[in-house]
Amino acid sequence: EAQVTQNPRYLITVTGKKLTVTCSQNMNHEYMSWYRQDPGLGLRQIYYSMNVEVTDKGDVPEGYKVSRKEKRNFPLILESPSPNQTSLYFCASSLLAGQREQYFGPGTRLTVT
């Protein structure tokens, strides 16, 4: 089944404790992206990747890191999480950057206390 998977789905952590949210797609898509969604603010792009080893900042990259060492994986790293990073996070992938539909993972609900 073609899909985007994320792990973990739910995470409660404390300020400053490094964490990684994994994202994997099995559709051989070149483009992958991370979004956060907050009430009243809609989907905001954190980072995106056009292809392996090519990543770029979205609208809200501060406090996040990403890497794209393999085509299928695009992990999101929070080196020192803070409470303002409490949010719902979505990974998405697309065959062609921006020009075809994006498929979303199920989401990761992160709470930083």
Nearest 10 degrees: Cα torsion 15, 93, 104, 36: 30
Nearer to another protein, 58 or 63 (CB): 58
Q: How far apart are CA 90 and CA 16, in angstroms?
A: 22
By CB under 8 A, residue 63 contacts another protein: no
Q: Which of residues 8-37 bind another protein (CB under 8 A)?
A: 31, 33, 35
| Residues 46 and 54 sit within 8 Å (Cβ to Cβ) | no
Q: Which of 1, 10, 69, 99 binds another protein (CB under 8 A)?
A: 99
Please tell me the count of residues contacting another protein according to CB under 8 A.
28
Could you say whether residue 70 binds another protein (CB under 8 A)? no
Q: What angle do CA 108, 15, 84 make, to 5 degrees?
A: 60
Distance CA 105, CA 90 (A): 6
Contact set with another protein (CB under 8 A): 31, 33, 35, 40-43, 45, 48, 50, 56-58, 88, 90, 94, 96-107
